[in-house]
């Protein structure tokens, strides 16, 4: 039993000694773990050093300052007409409230008597029952006949009284009052007055009869309709609202300082400025009409304190030209206008975008440099500026933008036009020429 235990202990000790490495093997592993990374690191440093020492060397070059590219327009003097842009509202030139002059029942109406219906001048629009007015005419006619009869009888009595007066008095003078009574002068005056009154009443009756037929006073369109067939109306009741179709007007608001550019008629026979009227859907092709300035209103607009001008537009519904394919003007429509103002001579027309700091422009000189110049402006609008002073014929105006413009800086022309002097084109690009 003891021998077996001893043998097991001896075998375990031998196995343990077999698993433990030798001392020289342990040191070899430690050296290997430290040396391999150092060798790799050294190889990388050596490779980088070799590449840096044997690679190509870049030669230093002096940087070239590139002049900015600009677009130009050549300036020319011309005569330009000022165009004043404005906005306006379409209003009627003629508008009436059609009213009844007599009372009665509406027994007949025009087929076009409806809102939007077109009526020609003189067309009978409504008919009021006229039977009572015809009877009144016959009655007044009878009164006139009786008054005429009484006047003829009185004239006969006048002859008899005259003869009686001559037989009784002869040449004996008498009092004026006695003579008038004897000769029946008051009776004659009364019968004449009765006849005149009867004739006046007959005329009034005929006038009332004529007023039962209500006609359009001018070419018009029905704006509102207030009665219909069978309606009972009284004198001064409104029947409809009519707007004339021969002419519309546009009420335009304009700043006070722009009135001097517009020709406004001051007396009959004067011609006002022509007007181009633009309306319709702005996303599509707009429609155009022409008009004429006819009047300056006496007061200012309440909100904007601007002047108000009236523009006349003939045939706004194209009734005289039915073949024209464009929509009509509508009352209350907001339209855009271009009023043709006075003509300015000897000016330069430049785009609005070429005006810098409100009063300055950039000029490309013959030396190829940018020059900032102050100019005198005669007129400006949204897209155009008319310059009166500060520019010369044939100069090159810079129309493109620059980030940091400096007076005297070199510039290059991007696309020189055919009339640009050769000297400007060559001297404005010295860097490009030197590289060639």
Domain borders along the chain are 69-79+345-435, 83-93+246-343, 130-211
CA distance 116 to 89: 20
- pLDDT, residue 302, reads 83
More confident residue, 283 or 16: 283
Q: What is the pLDDT of residues 272-323, one digit of tens each?
A: 999 999 998 766 778 999 999 999 999 998 888 899 999 999 999 999 988 8
- pLDDT, residue 280, reads 83
pTM of the complete model: 0.69
- CATH classification number, 83-93+246-343, choose in 2.170.150.20, 3.40.50.720, 1.10.540.10, 2.40.30.170: 2.40.30.170
3-state SS track over 29-68: HHHHHHHHHHHHHHHHHHHHHHHHHHCCCCCCCCCCCCCC
CA distance 234 to 227: 12
For residue 405, pLDDT over 70 is answered with yes
- 337 DSSP β-pair partners: 86, 277
For the 69-79+345-435 domain, the top CATH level (class) is mainly beta
Query: Cβ of 400: how many Cβ atoms within 10 Å?
Result: 14
Q: What is the pLDDT of residues 229-279, one digit of tens each?
A: 999 999 999 999 999 999 999 999 999 989 999 999 988 888 899 999 999
| Six token digits for residue 102 | 């007599």
Angle subtended by helix axes 185-210 and 131-169, to nearest 10: 170
Q: What is the pLDDT of residues 164-221, one digit of tens each?
A: 666 666 565 555 555 555 556 777 788 888 899 999 999 999 999 999 999 999 999 9
Return the closest-CA partner of residue 121 out of 96, 103, 104, 92: 96
- 243 DSSP β-pair partners: 95, 221
Q: Which of 19-23, 105-109, 295-299, 379-383 has the lowest mean pLDDT?
A: 19-23
Q: What mean pLDDT do residues 130-135 have?
A: 94
Place 350 in a pLDDT band, splitting at 50, 70 and 90.
very high
């Amino acid at each position: 039993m003891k021998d077996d235990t001893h043998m097991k202990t001896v075998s375990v000790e031998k196995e343990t000694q077999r698993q433990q490495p030798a001392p020289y093997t342990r040191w070899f592993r430690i050296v290997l773990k430290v040396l391999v990374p150092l060798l790799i690191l050294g190889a990388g440093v050596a490779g980088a050093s070799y590449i840096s020492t044997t690679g190509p060397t870049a030669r230093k070059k002096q940087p070239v300052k590139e002049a900015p590219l600009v677009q130009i327009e050549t300036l020319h003097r011309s005569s330009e007409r000022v165009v004043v842009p404005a906005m306006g509202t379409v209003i009627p030139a003629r508008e009436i409230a059609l009213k009844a002059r007599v009372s009665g029942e509406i027994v007949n109406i025009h087929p076009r008597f409806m809102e939007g219906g077109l009526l020609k001048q003189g067309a009978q629009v409504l008919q009021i029952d006229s039977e009572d007015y015809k009877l009144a005419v016959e009655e007044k006619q009878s009164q006139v006949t009786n008054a005429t009869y009484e006047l003829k009888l009185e004239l006969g009595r006048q002859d008899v009284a005259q003869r009686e007066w001559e037989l009784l008095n002869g040449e004996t003078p008498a009092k004026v009052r006695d003579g008038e009574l004897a000769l029946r002068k008051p009776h004659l005056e009364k019968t004449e007055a009765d006849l005149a009154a009867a004739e006046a009443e007959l005329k009034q009756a005929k006038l009332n009869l004529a007023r039962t037929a209500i006609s359009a006073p001018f070419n018009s369109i029905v704006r509102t309709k207030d009665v219909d067939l069978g309606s009972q109306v009284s004198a001064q009741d409104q029947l409809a609202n009519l707007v004339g179709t021969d002419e519309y007007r546009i009420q335009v608001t304009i700043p006070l300082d722009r009135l001097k550019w517009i020709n406004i008629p001051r007396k009959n026979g004067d011609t006002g400025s022509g007007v181009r009227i633009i309306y319709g859907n702005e996303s599509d092709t707009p429609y155009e009409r022409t008009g004429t300035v006819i009047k300056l209103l006496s007061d200012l607009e309440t909100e904007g304190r601007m002047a108000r001008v009236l523009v006349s537009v003939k045939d706004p519904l194209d009734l005289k030209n039915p073949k024209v394919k464009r929509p009509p003007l509508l009352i209350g429509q907001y339209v855009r206008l271009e009023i043709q103002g006075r003509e300015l001579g000897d000016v330069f027309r430049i785009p609005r975008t070429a005006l810098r700091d409100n009063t300055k422009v950039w000029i490309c000189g013959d030396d190829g440099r940018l020059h900032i110049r102050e100019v005198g402006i005669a007129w400006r609008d949204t897209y155009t500026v008319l310059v009166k002073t500060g520019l010369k014929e044939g100069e090159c105006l810079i129309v493109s933008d620059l980030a940091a413009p400096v007076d005297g800086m070199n510039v290059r022309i991007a696309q020189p036009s055919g009339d640009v002097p050769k000297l400007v084109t060559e001297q404005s690009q010295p860097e490009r020429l030197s590289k060639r």
